[in-house]
Amino acid sequence: MLFEPGSIGSMTVKNRIVRSATYEGFADENGIVDERYVNLYRKLALGGSGLIITGFAYVREDGIVMKGQAGIHSDECIPPLRRAVEEVHSADPEVKIVMQIAHGGRQANPKYTGGVLIAPSPIPDKTMNATPKEMSLDEVKAVIESFIEAAKRVKKAGFDGVQIHAAHGYLLSEFISPYSNRRNDEYGGSTENRARILLEIVHGVKAECGGEWPVLVKLQVDDCVADENRLKTPESAEIAKMVVEAGADAIEVSGGIYESALYGNLIPTRFNITREEDEAYFLPQAVEVKRAIGGTPLILVGGIRSKKVAEEILGKGHADFISMSRPLIREPNLPNKWKDGSSTKSTCISCNQCLSEARKNGLRCAQLAASSS
């Protein structure tokens, strides 16, 4: 099944391999991406992935998480992004490219936001040295509008769709989780209230960008912290169903927040994925979410390294698409290798140094960079 086409809403994807979003570090201080960004996505298109999801782009300046992060907060961001889309479609007209949009919330970097952090509730992240400001209702509405406007820019740049980032402890993830959302208004309390901001964004994007234009959601399935008040899979599966009913065309499941690192190897990008049994660490949660969303496509990410594991997951109907990030940083052409039989497993060693490298020099495999220097 890995190389059979699949559909996400109106979009036909040539195979079931998705390049999952990750931070690139290829933008200037205004969020404008450069030629390295264009080249990265051209290589991925040539490498055989059916669907490419770009790294998270911030929808407002108070949502910047990292230096060099791409922006989609102003029309000035559009021209170089359009060039990247054109290069992808030129490299392989069958490859689809979707942009992920996000707001950092309490995990934004105060160094780049002018010291301001916003969140559903004034609960500090244990890994950050700042307490966020609780958002007023007017500020919540403004953020919703910022996501919708950002999606309109994504469409204007020529992307085949958009992915709304509601995972990994960023702002929308903070709203849907009882761990970080202690509000007592219409955006807090019950599951439906906590999901409201995400549902209104999905509704708004569909209304403004057209019902046929694909809207994907990266959804938190577990906060992965030692607190019983955290978001857990039964509730996230319920939220996934709401998001699909609001109009989302696919759900990509993931988990973990910054604080998860305080509780062992529970971060979204886990270390030492060396055996097949270590792979697909969000599979149990994916099974539960898939049961809730029925025929809506589910994209599974999390330590998948082997063609055999990917095929088994698809064959059993646990997911509709297989998503990878770190293996495709090291080997952008891994899908082609799997297709022609020259490889059955990624050579990625899950060291996570690529993410450190992105903060210093832009996204690349640190091991390959060291061996070539």
Q: Is the predicted pLDDT of residue 356 greater than 90, yes or no?
A: no
User: 339, exposed or middle or buried, with CB in 10 Å at 0-12, 13-18, 19+?
Assistant: middle
In this structure, the chain runs to a length of 373
pTM over 0.85: yes
What residues contact 261, with CB distance under 8 A and at least 6 apart? 127, 267
CA dist 134 and 143 (Å) reads 13
> What average pLDDT does this structure show over 271-285?
93
The CA-atom distances, in angstroms, between 205 and each of 59, 106, 182, 347 are 13, 24, 27, 38
Q: What is the mean pLDDT of residues 179-191?
A: 97
Q: Which whole number is the average pLDDT over 80-105?
A: 98
pLDDT tens profile 313-344: 999 999 999 999 999 999 999 999 999 999 99
Please count the CA atoms within 13 angstroms of the CA of 41 that sit on its side-chain side: 33
Q: With bands split at pLDDT 50, 70 and 90, how would you rate the model's confidence at 373? A: low
pLDDT in tens, 189-224: 999 999 999 999 999 999 999 999 999 999 999 999
Per the prediction, the chain carries an average pLDDT of 96
SS3 state of residue 255: coil
Average pLDDT of the segment spanning 344-365: 89
Beta-sheet pairing, 250-254 with 321-324: unpaired
What's the pLDDT at 361? 87
Here the tokens at position 132 are 């966020």
Would residue 170 show up in a list of annotated catalytic residues for this protein?
A: yes
Beta bridge partners of residue 323, listed in sequence order: 18
pLDDT, position 114: 87
The mean pLDDT value for 7-19 works out to 98
> What is the pLDDT averaged over residues 137-143?
98
Of 58, 112, 170, 258, which is the active-site residue? 170
pLDDT on residue 265 = 83
In the predicted structure, residue 371 carries a pLDDT above the cut 80: no
Q: Which residue has the higher pLDDT, 84 or 370?
A: 84
- Banded pLDDT at 359 (limits 50, 70, 90): confident
* Residue percentage of the chain with pLDDT more than 90: 88
Which tokens hold the place of 301?
Answer: 């990410």
CB 85 within 8 A of CB 97: yes
Q: Which residues pair with 218 in a beta bridge?
A: 165, 252
**Rg, the chain, Cα only:** 19
Are the C-beta atoms of 57 and 70 separated by less than 8 Å? yes
Q: What percent of the chain has pLDDT over 70?
A: 99
Predicted local distance difference test score (pLDDT) of residue 28: 97
**Nearest to 198, CA basis, from 170, 175, 231:** 175
pLDDT tens, position by position, 23-65? 999 999 999 999 999 999 999 999 999 999 999 999 999 999 9
Q: Is the pLDDT of residue 234 over 70?
A: yes
